[in-house]
Structure 1
Amino acid sequence: MTDADALVARLRAAGCVFAEDEATLLREAASGAALEELVARRVAGEPLEVLLGWAEFAGLRVAVAPGVFVPRLRSETLVDAVLEALPDAAVVVELCCGVAAIAAAVATARPDAEVWASDVDPDAVAVARRNLPPDRVLEGDLYEALPAALRGRVDVLVANAPYVPTAEIANMPSEARDHEHRVALDGGADGHAVQARIAAGCREWLAPGGRVVIETSRRQAARTASLLEGRGLVVRVVRDEERDGTCVVGEAP
């Protein structure tokens, strides 16, 4: 057995579904003792993206770090929803941004857009400032972080707010449950606590005809939609089966 085969076997035995791909990435990232350290940490359950220092998202390699929320493939659904019919020189704000993967993807696709991001977790903000211009990433609780000058000017508010019900966090995969800050996962008793706060404040920040895009699950989509409908938005649910992504889009009339 070659060293490469042995590495694949170790990763597969640890439960890594894509062991071959992971082995290739780890070998590209390090060699010798440094590689062995990365493999040992991966076998112990640390997320691959944290070990590499980046995650692939919407064609980009976005920076990640220990403790922060690692962007998921399903959230690319939100990028598509933001970019759909986005006006020229649009203002886009990502709330609960984590590492600002969605904001970075939008800024890359639409360099003319004015893209902002905010998060309450200082560790996430520090990483997000590596993925966006640092002055466009703000630390604070939802709208409290935003400059007053954005009020009434935002064309799209987008958020992958935490939506896992508190009691269900214990059932999440270890990579999330044990390695990502709880503030990025915990959506409160019913999973909608943060979404409700986003909905409650959105109208004063949206430009006329602006949109809110919120990630949710198939099971929770109806409740997420009702939160935006309650603020007078025209709502539709977007489902991407290939990515297993669901979001709710609410448009101001």
Structure 2
Amino acid sequence: MAPSIPDIAQTPQGHEGGAPAPLHVAIIMDGNGRWATQRGWPRLAGHRKGAEQIKKVVQAAPDLGIRYMTIYAFSTENWKRSTQEVLGLMKMFRLMIKREAAELSRQGVELRFIGDRTPLDPLLRETMDAIETRTKGNSKLTLAVAINYGGRDELKRAAQSIARDVAEGKITADEVDEAMISSRLDSAGMPDPDLVIRSSGETRTSNFLPWQAAYSEYEFTPTLWPDFTPDELSDILDRFAGRERRFGGVAS
């Protein structure tokens, strides 16, 4: 089956006929620890400050035309960090989710989580399940939070799911296509990101949404995440609007 290529002619255009306005923005929120270290503070202080910036960016997103946002909160590789930092992050995730549940629901935000939940603390998993249920159906913004997420791990789990169905005779190998693979990913039901932003000056993609971001535009900013503001997001979207996205085609 031929790959599914976005129909550019049918997609709303950005400024001056440039790239379409980004429906889905994904963010690698890097630099929290460095921000705190530069100030002589514990790394967790940077993560707490970074969490405050998440709230500001999420609140601003709908007015900027964003309807889906995915943020990289904790990768499968982040378990290599110190026990103190990992435990502190997990506690912060649980408390923040509980604290923000009512406000996110009031704002019309649907919260969902992507990544492998099995290694997470049962209390955290319970909290995640509860807010997903509470906010399901909200339509102003869908916010996907990647916790214990790794793109290769996600693809492995999708492949295992498909392989089991083939082995059980539910589907044949010839029926496996791109749409089926996408439907087995954690992000199933969400459009692929139009734009991926990484803060802190690093220019790696760090195993973040490798399948979904195959045709995404990228923006790398030197700003450490705790200093990232809605105004900077708006500036990045303005630059995005001037890009020409051809998806492997040629300019008309």
Task: Classify the TM-score, shorter chain.
Answer: 0.3 to 0.5
Q: Which has the higher strand share?
A: 1
Which structure is richer in relative contact order (CA contacts within 8 A, separation 6 or more)? 2
TM-score by length of 1: 0.33
